Amino acid sequence: MSDLAKFRAEARAWIEENCPTSCRGENSFLPDMVWGGRRQTFEHDDVKLWLDRLIEKGWTVPTWPQEYGGAGLTDAERDIVLQEMSAAGTRSPLFSFGIAMLAPALMEFASEEQKLKFLPPIARGEIRWCQGYSEPGAGSDLASLQTRAVKEGDEYIVNGQKIWTSDANLSDWIFCLVRTEPQASKHEGISFLLIDMETPGVSTSPIELISGASPFCQTFFEDVRVPTSHLIGEENKGWTVAKRLLQHERGMLSAYTRGARINPTEQITKFARRELGDADGRLTDQAVRDELTQLAFDRLCYEATLQRTMDAAEAGKGMGPESSMFKLYLSELGQREADLRQRIAGRHALVWQGEDCPPQEKELTRGWLYNQASTILGGTSEIQLNIIAKRVLGLPD
Amino acid sequence: MQMILTEEQELLRDSVASFAQDKCDVGQLRALRNQMTGPGFDEALWKDAAELGWLGIPFSEDYGGLGLGYAELGIVLEELGKKLVNLPILSSIVMGGGAIARGGTEALKTALLPGICDGSVLSTLAYQETNRHNPYFVETSAEMIDDTWVLSGRKVLVLDGTDADHIVLLARSSNGATDRDGLSLFVVPCDANGLVRKRNILLDSRVAATIELDNVKVGATTLLGRADEAADIVDLVLAQSAIALSAEMLGGIQQAFDTTLEYLKLREQFGAKIGSFQALKHRAARWFCELELTRSIVMKALRAIDEGSDDLVQLASVCKARASSAFHQSGKEGIQMHGGIGVTDEMDIGFFFKRARVTEMLLGDAGFHRNAYAALSAY
Ligand SMILES: Cc1cc2nc3c(=O)[nH]c(=O)nc-3n(C[C@H](O)[C@H](O)[C@H](O)COP(=O)(O)OP(=O)(O)OC[C@H]3O[C@@H](n4cnc5c(N)ncnc54)[C@H](O)[C@@H]3O)c2cc1C
């Protein structure tokens, strides 16, 4: 037996032995995502048990080195683990900004000491991270940020305000862009700091979205003292770290639906059949059918492109600024899907609340509203187009 | 199969690219569009293609082919597509030859495929009768009389039909005009009595014939597959044709894009390169996304032919629809971003626009394929 075949057999056996049946299959207890952190609670003990075992095994982040909480697997071995989990109808539910965005940046830019301090708690889902980039005056033009950090001995004193910080009120730590050199040109004086949200002077205040949810906050810093050992990379060189992290963010946003259990096209098709009816097996509404098929085509083409990119990455040709293309395309596609679903539902999707209004209808309305954010967050569509034009196509300024 | 090129495939791509660079010129289309007699393509170029072995790529070595697949043929088509090279590869290798390879008896394959592989025999597929693509609509009749098939009817848009030595003809042997059942395929020599060909030059300078058959008689051995049951073969042949055509279209899309991108970096107005204007930048960026999506689905679909995937026909629809809309966009944006010079005959970009229109409609446009896909997916 080849080493990989042996590995596969072992992986399968381990999953078989360790994954509770309640965490497998269609009616699995596993929530879509477990974000982790100090405030994490579990509705089902089995989910916690399964997660603990995955953590123990290093399989929440299989390719990370063991000293950082991973299992040190190769990409090929990781693929096998994912395949075997998927075959068993299960997966690792742990998902976080820490794993997808911060950790890759730490691997590249942090000191060994910092890696040993910050990576294992991410792998174990103990610390939940949020992203302190945007400010009221610095959105698309992120580098114009003003939050100030002044060095005093072995501490920085941080003052300023962040905005749109997703889940800041649920998070334990924040990775933050601050200005350490106000005289320098705007990209030069920025530093990348890690801040414990429990430090005195940090406060958050939720902002309500058009959907009624409040998934993001304003985050305030008032004379917050941060040890200089929490600076990642060099002082005033934080923009390099920040940009790299944004690439990982776009990568994350474009991989969001991968591994998801529901195929959006199938879901809308089912929904359309139920809502609109069919004749001889075909949807009666031709306009909807045509739009639906176009969406199905676009998603298939998108997924083929992701596949091609991953195959290329495995062959050593990594993803660079093209990640902008994925972010742009997937967010718009997702919006078009949500929009069609909304229109198929007709009056049901127009209800905000009321006496004759089942929860799934409210969900539909709110989902559609919330979806409007996807072409804004993580860099707006226009900004992604700018990046493609400049970095991929080399068009002049 | 991985969605990247193997080393051998990269070598093939490079050799086709340098061949196209040296020997092919979009400008040739200016001469071909007025050529009402003689061959509809450059015969010397066809010989070269044959000698390089490209024509035999998808056929088994038993019949003189190379025993490779559509992943490889797609590379050839894409590279030639960049120069809008006009050679009967789609008609003879993919459509006519493809139908014979899929449905022919051993005797037919042995008799015809070696010639198709070495370029000495030209085949094509005559299936279309309606103005728009509608493959099961077949009124051309096939009747068995005294062990002989008698064929009568009219086929349109037969690619390279005036150059072909034989046509693979789709005819109706039973049932009504739009039924999927009751179709049969025949190999009909073009010099048969009662067969008349009319030459049309399309707006992309290529020849597509109208072929009329008036009681043309062919023997029982010319039948491909079983009588009345040709639809299964036709579905697959049209699917692989749509995918192969998409590969060629991809080349056209890439070239139109590259040419225009270069122009954006060159042309100045208002004291700046026009490529610095955000209105054009954003459109170029979206165009790039379309190009990449098209490339992905073309690669996937080509590999699906080689793997004999169950969902080949569906994938062909996804692929052809995407290639159609992307090529259309490429022609239009290409012209628009060139400004006035873009609509002159002097510039090559117009030929891409023209080829886009023809290929969009050939083998079904985006709307046709959306509907076909939805029907196959039962919605
Ligand atoms: C749901 C949600 C969650 C978020 N989570 C976080 C988070 O966790 N952490 C964080 O730091 N931030 C977060 N953000 C903030 C997000 O990154 C910003 O909203 C985004 O970068 C846009 O900035 P802005 O809102 O200031 O818009 P602006 O930059 O003011 O943009 C306004 C409009 O102008 C356009 N525009 C701006 N500049 C250009 C240009 N150069 N060319 C063409 N058009 C341009 C934009 O595309 C947009 O259409 C989140 C946002 C949302 C909606």
Token representation of residue A236 = 């005033």
Ligand 1 centroid to Cα of residue A263, in Å, is 28
Q: CATH topology for A3-95? A: Butyryl-Coa Dehydrogenase, subunit A; domain 1 (1.10.540)
Instruction: Find out whether A184 and A51 touch, Cβ atoms under 8 Å.
Output: no
Phi first, then psi, for residue B56 (nearest 5°) are -90, 0
What's the rounded Cα separation, in Å, for the pair B294 and A304? 9
- The answer to ipTM > 0.85 is yes
Give, as one character, the DSSP assignment of residue A258. Answer: T
What's the rounded Cα separation, in Å, for the pair A216 and A377? 11
| Chain B residue numbers touching A323 (CB-CB < 8 A) | none
Instruction: Find out whether A127 and A37 touch, Cβ atoms under 8 Å.
Output: yes
What are the CA-CA distances from residue A104 to residues A119, A237, A371 (Å)?
10, 17, 27
Give, as one character, the DSSP assignment of residue B168. Answer: E
pLDDT at A237 over 50: yes
Residue A140 distance to chain B (closest CA, Å)? 15
3-state secondary structure of B47: helix
* Number of residues that make up chain A: 397
Q: Which chain B residues have any C-beta within 8 angstroms of a chain A C-beta?
A: 2-4, 261, 264-265, 272-273, 275-276, 278, 281-282, 284-286, 288-289, 292-297, 299-300, 318, 321-322, 367, 370-371, 373-375, 377-379
What's the rounded Cα separation, in Å, for the pair B71 and B88? 19
User: Where does chain B have alpha helices with state H?
Assistant: 7-23, 28-32, 43-51, 70-82, 97-103, 106-118, 231-264, 278-307, 312-338, 349-361, 366-376
Name residue, tokens 């997702």.
A334
CATH 2.60.40.1180 correct for A129-236: no
**Element holding A53 (H helix, E strand):** helix A45-57
**Element holding A131 (H helix, E strand):** strand A129-132
Residue B292 distance to chain A (closest CA, Å)? 7
Atom of ligand 1 nearest to the CA of A370: 1
Token representation of residue B303 = 């590999």
Burial of B270 (0-12, 13-18, 19+ CB in 10 A): exposed
In one letter, which amino acid is B187? V
Token representation of residue A239 = 């923009």
Same CATH fold assignment for domains A3-95 and A260-392: no
| Chain A residue numbers touching B300 (CB-CB < 8 A) | 304, 307-308
Token representation of residue A123 = 């792998």
| Chain B residue numbers touching A395 (CB-CB < 8 A) | 261, 264-265, 273, 275-276, 281, 284
Instruction: Find out whether B163 and B119 touch, Cβ atoms under 8 Å.
Output: no
- Which residues of chain A from 329 to 388 reach within 8 Å of chain B, CB to CB? 329, 382, 384-386, 388
* Number of residues that make up chain B: 379
- Nearest Cα neighbor of A153 from A223, A227, A236 is A227
What are the CA-CA distances from residue A377 to residues A219, A321, B111 (Å)?
17, 17, 63
Q: Which residues contact A318 (CB under 8 A, 6 or more apart)?
A: none
Instruction: Find out whether B245 and B359 touch, Cβ atoms under 8 Å.
Output: yes
Atom of ligand 1 nearest to the CA of A379: 21
The pLDDT-based confidence of A323 (bands split at 50, 70, 90) is confident
- Please state, as a whole number, how many other Cβ atoms lie within 10 Å of the Cβ of residue B3: 20
CATH 1.20.120.550 correct for B7-120: no
Beta bridge partners of B124: B167
Phi first, then psi, for residue A218 (nearest 5°) are -90, 140
A361 is catalytic: no
DSSP B306-375: HHT-TTHHHHHHHHHHHHHHHHHHHHHHHHHHHGGGGGSTTSTHHHHHHHHHHHHHTT--HHHHHHHHHH
pLDDT reported for residue A349: 85
Ligand 1 centroid to Cα of residue A350, in Å, is 27
What are the CA-CA distances from residue B42 to residues A173, A219, A325, B94 (Å)?
69, 70, 40, 19
Q: Which residues contact B93 (CB under 8 A, 6 or more apart)?
A: B55, B57, B58, B73, B116
pLDDT at A256 over 60: no
Instruction: Find out whether B162 and B197 touch, Cβ atoms under 8 Å.
Output: yes
Beta bridge partners of A149: A158
- Please state, as a whole number, how many other Cβ atoms lie within 10 Å of the Cβ of residue B379: 22
- The domain segmentation of chain B, as residue ranges, is 7-120, 124-229, 232-376
In one letter, which amino acid is A188? E
Q: What is the pTM of this model?
A: 0.92
- Nearest Cα neighbor of A372 from A348, A326, A338, A329 is A338
Percent of chain A residues topping a pLDDT of 90: 71
Strands (E) in B148-271, as ranges, are: 148-159, 166-172, 183-189, 195-201, 207-219, 223-224, 268-269
3-state secondary structure of B154: strand
- The domain segmentation of chain A, as residue ranges, is 3-95, 129-236, 260-392
pLDDT reported for residue A319: 58
What's the rounded Cα separation, in Å, for the pair A370 and B186? 58
Ligand 1 centroid to Cα of residue A142, in Å, is 9
What is the arithmetic mean of pLDDT over A142-166?
A: 97
What's the rounded Cα separation, in Å, for the pair A347 and A372? 20
3-state secondary structure of A394: coil
pLDDT at A33 over 90: no
> Considering Cα of B109, then B110, then B113, then B115, what sign does the dihedral take?
negative
What's the rounded Cα separation, in Å, for the pair B24 and B83? 7
Atom of ligand 1 nearest to the CA of A167: 8
| Chain A residue numbers touching B3 (CB-CB < 8 A) | 304, 307-308, 311-312
CB crowding B142-164: b at 16 or more within 10 Å, else e: beeeeeebbbbbebbbbbbbbbb
Q: CATH topology for A260-392? A: Butyryl-CoA Dehydrogenase, subunit A; domain 3 (1.20.140)
pLDDT tens digit at each of 379 positions of chain B:
789 999 999 999 999 999 999 999 998 899 889 888 889 999 999 999 999 999 999 999 999 999 999 999 999 999 999 999 999 999 999 999 999 999 999 999 999 999 999 999 999 999 999 999 999 999 999 999 999 999 999 999 999 999 999 999 999 999 988 999 999 999 999 999 999 999 999 999 999 999 999 999 999 999 999 999 999 999 999 999 999 999 999 999 999 999 999 999 999 999 999 999 999 999 999 999 999 999 999 999 999 999 999 999 999 999 999 999 999 999 999 999 999 999 999 999 999 999 999 999 999 999 999 999 999 987 8
What's the rounded Cα separation, in Å, for the pair A77 and B115? 48
Q: What CATH number is given for B124-229 in this structure?
A: 2.40.110.10
Q: CATH topology for B232-376? A: Butyryl-CoA Dehydrogenase, subunit A; domain 3 (1.20.140)
Tell me the pLDDT tens digit for each residue of A118-144: 999 999 999 999 999 999 999 999 999
Percent of chain A residues topping a pLDDT of 70: 96
What's the rounded Cα separation, in Å, for the pair B52 and B211? 32
Mark yes or no for CB contact B282/A311 under 8 Å: no
In one letter, which amino acid is A302? Y
